[in-house]
Amino acid sequence: AVTLIANVQSKRIVRTPQGTVRELMYYLNDGLFGSFDWLNPRKYPPQVIPGNRQLVRSREQFSTTLWGPTCDSTDLILSGMAMEELQIGDFLVFDDMGAYGTVLATNFNGFAKPKVMVYISRRSWEQLELEKRNRRTKRKVH
């Protein structure tokens, strides 16, 4: 399973003529030319979870658009979803992104491919170590 954690790098507030917030746009450090390349987010929108524990949640939700970093008009991740307001520096968690996002990522428009960090739980690591030791023991016996 692949979980993507993306960072909010900039924010745009779109207001109505009366001055109320109509839409919030966030620009993330990853987009369609990175981990979202294989995904059709308009047809199959990924689940988005605000990732900051210190995130102060307002009760108000806004129409929200998420963009990738490239300034390309096709670097649109999600549009029109209701979300609470985020701040620059906040993180968004995209669960179940699949294994192909980083394989198809490019350095389009000078933006580096996303950094991959591998995580394994202590319990899983210990099980793998035990399996490795068992295999060595079986080889020596035969």
Which among 68, 76, 71, 58 is positioned nearest to 21, based on CA atoms?
Answer: 58
* CA–CA distances in Å: residue 116 to residues 16, 92, 101, 126: 40, 16, 11, 22
* Residue 139, phi-psi category: left (phi > 0), alpha (psi -120 to 50), beta (remainder): alpha
Q: Please identify every residue annotated as catalytic.
A: 71
What are 51's two structure tokens? 């990732």
Give dist(CA 7, CA 49) in Å, integer.
12
Strands across the sheet with 76-84, in order?
48-50, 91-94, 4-15, 21-28, 61-67, 76-84
